[in-house]
Structure 1
Amino acid sequence: MAVLEIKKINKTFKGGLFEKNRHVLKDVSFALPEGQTSGFVGSNGAGKTTTIKCIFDFIRPDSGEVLFFGKPLDNNAKTRIGYLPERPYLYEFLTGMEFLRLHWNLCYGASLKDFHERAHEALKKVDLFEAKDRRLRTYSKGMLQRIGIAQAILTRPDLLILDEPMSGLDPDGRAMVKDILREEQRRGVSLFFSSHLLQDMEELCSHLVVVNHGEILYNGVLNTFMAEFQSLEKAFAVLKKQQEVRRG
């Protein structure tokens, strides 16, 4: 079963007075297998973040369909999905615990059932339990990224979608985020994360989606991909060249 299906999404942004319209997503289609980690890789500006925003309807696509667990997004599906945007907005006047409570309320209303257990569990996973009562304005860049991940895993989601989760982190921070993702893998969560760093894909993923200039160049098993091209760097270069030839 596919936990997420994207069918022929198109998105065009209108240009300004002297600018042309930009067709940024072109019949984007792919499916993510249940219980696996899928990487969404492409250069900066390839269309990764726009695709993810269209998946959640933060940006309305011009056409296409998105299915979560075989159905359109509804309130039940939302409680089964964890999400971390590329540039999350964090309320700096809240403490770490208050920030998690805000996201819990968005999912479940004012009910406190299981909240403290889940919040403590998430904070310990991201190594922020001792900082739970500090204001977010006092957190470092790495701590802010980790509290963002804590809210994404707070409800023990079945599907976790992360947009550039390791962007801007130092080596220690990147290693910690990778360890968190591996722990979610062991729990059986379906993971989908975007990155422009091919090394992240090789380390963590079993499934791969490659995008460039708003077009899907590959959607399938990572090992099959590697067997044909030997390295992701070589494969990405070949796929981009093939795309350029098709486009003339």
Structure 2
Amino acid sequence: MAALTVEGLNKTFRGGLFEKDRHVLRDVSFSLREGQTTGFVGSNGSGKTTTIKCLFDFIHPDSGTIRFFGQEIGNEVKTRIGYLPERPYLYEFLTGEEFLKLHWNLCYGSVTKDFAERAKESLRKVDLLEAKDRRLRTYSKGMLQRVGIAQAILTRPDLLILDEPMSGLDPDGRAMVKDILREEQKRGMTLFFSSHLLQDMEELCSDLVVINKGQILYKGDLPTFMSEFQSLEKAFQVLKNKGAMDV
């Protein structure tokens, strides 16, 4: 069973009085293999974030179906998914541990006996255990990104979805995030993350979904993609000129 299946997703944002409608997603279809890491790559404005927001019903698509583990999204399915948006809102008056406790409560309704162990585990993975009692307002940008990832992996989800998880990080921060994702890969988690940086995909992904101007240009495994195009940068340019391609 696929961890996620998207079929025929369309989304148009209606224009104002003097604005044209914007058709931002055009028949977007792809699926994620369980236990694999899939990169979602496209330039800024290509439709990555809109697609991800549709997955969680933050915005409503005009048409299409979305299924997680064969089911429509609901409370039971949500407990199996970890998510970090591109621009998360972090409550700066909370400590790192309190921030995790808030998200644990949202997921399970109350703090259970497993919370302390899971919080310690998540904070250790992102190297923030010693900062757990500090207010988020004192965290650096890299620390805030890492505590966001700690929140996303707190419940040991089966599927982790990250929107531009390395955006704005310095080289050390990017390396740490990649190490965290590799650790989750070893655990067998299904990973889906978006980026406009092609190098991230080559380093971490087994599968690839390429989107441009709201259309899927490629969906398939990375080795096949690389054998045909040699490099992601070259392939992206070829596929943009060629139009939609499906493997």
> What is the TM-score of this pair, normalised by structure 1?
0.97
Matched with 2:128 is 128
Matched with 1:46 is 46
- What stretches of structure 1 of length at least 5 have no aligned partner? none
Query: Equivalent pairs: percent with the same residue?
Result: 79
Aligned partners of 2:3 and 2:68 also within 8 Å: yes
Structure 1 distance, partners of 2:76, 2:228, is 40
Matched with 1:165 is 165
Matched with 1:92 is 92
Structure 2 distance, partners of 1:113, 1:178, is 30
Q: Give the Å deviation of 1:76.
A: 1.1
Matched with 1:224 is 224
Matched with 2:238 is 238
Q: Give the Å deviation of 1:187.
A: 0.3
Q: Give the Å deviation of 1:74.
A: 1.4
Structure 2 distance, partners of 1:227, 1:136, is 45
CA RMSD of aligned residues (A): 0.8
Structure 2 distance, partners of 1:16, 1:113, is 51
Matched with 1:190 is 190
Alignment of 1:1-248 (within 5 A): 1-243=1-243
Structure 1 distance, partners of 2:139, 2:82, is 22
Aligned partners of 2:38 and 2:192 also within 8 Å: yes
Aligned length: 244
Counterpart amino acid of residue 59 in structure 1: I
Structure 2 distance, partners of 1:147, 1:114, is 19
After the TM superposition, which parts of structure 1 deviate over 4 Å for at least 4 consecutive aligned residues?
Answer: none
Structure 2 distance, partners of 1:113, 1:47, is 40
